[in-house]
Amino acid sequence: MLRTKIAVFVSGGGTNLQALIDAQKSGLLQSGEIALVLASNDKAYALTRAAENNIPSAVVVRKDFATQLEYEERVKEVLTEYGIELIVLAGFMSILSENFTSAYPKRIINIHPSLIPSFCGKGYYGLKVHEAALAYGVKVTGATVHFVNEIPDGGEILLQKAVEVKEGDTPEVLQRRVMEEAEWVLLPRATEQVAKDLQKGR
């Protein structure tokens, strides 16, 4: 059976992309294949990871377009070109509008570094999530993989994993623990799950 073609959307270092590449190599990700890495800036180290693993990549920068609509239409063109069926947002910093998300119902997944509904929604990304968790004093945080809809972090939850907050944690230390113990575990697992479902539904 043909594998589900996946595009991974990135903006920075691409550690979650690396987790997906490793999962593909180990056979954990077998129902889908990473057919494209799409970056929101041409300096993203994730592009180097893609090149080192012979994965095609594209760069589409929001500020190169007059409107969000034009930007998203270009992204759609690139996805069509590569026959993409599933989109994985892996540290992607550009917001996607309802016009875009509604074109791919239950075909876009995102990893968020908290246990949704805590510390999520507009303005909660990257270190800010961990800063908020520590400021609030929670004893447990984690990560969530969810479907993407028009509401930031508002789509149906696929998988969650809890991570302990330890005394003396800084946002950076906590961020690293959440990545290692939750994000890099959950994202490949959820990607395989959705890729498999899409394969069956063909």
Q: What are the extents of the domains in the chain?
A: 4-200
Identify any residues that bridge with 62 across adjacent strands, giving them in sequence order: none
Measured CA to CA, the distance from residue 16 to residue 87 in angstroms comes to: 13
Q: Assess contact for 131 and 174: CB atoms under 8 A.
A: no
Q: How far apart are the first and last CA of the chain?
A: 10
- Which segments of the chain have a pLDDT < 50? none
Measured CA to CA, the distance from residue 27 to residue 73 in angstroms comes to: 33
Identify any residues that bridge with 41 across adjacent strands, giving them in sequence order: none
Measured CA to CA, the distance from residue 92 to residue 112 in angstroms comes to: 11
Question: How many CA atoms does the CB half-sphere of 60 hold within 13 Å?
Answer: 23
pLDDT at 150: 87
Q: Which residue in 184, 190, 196 sits closest to 91, CA to CA?
A: 184
pTM above 0.75, yes or no: yes
The residues that are catalytic are 112
pLDDT at 93: 87
Measured CA to CA, the distance from residue 177 to residue 114 in angstroms comes to: 12
Measured CA to CA, the distance from residue 106 to residue 155 in angstroms comes to: 9
Count Cβ atoms within 10 A of the Cβ of residue 36 and give its class: 0-12 exposed, 13-18 middle, 19 or more buried: buried
pLDDT at 122: 87
Q: Mention the CATH class of domain 4-200.
A: alpha beta
**Per-residue pLDDT tens for 180-194?**
999 999 999 999 999
pLDDT at 95: 82
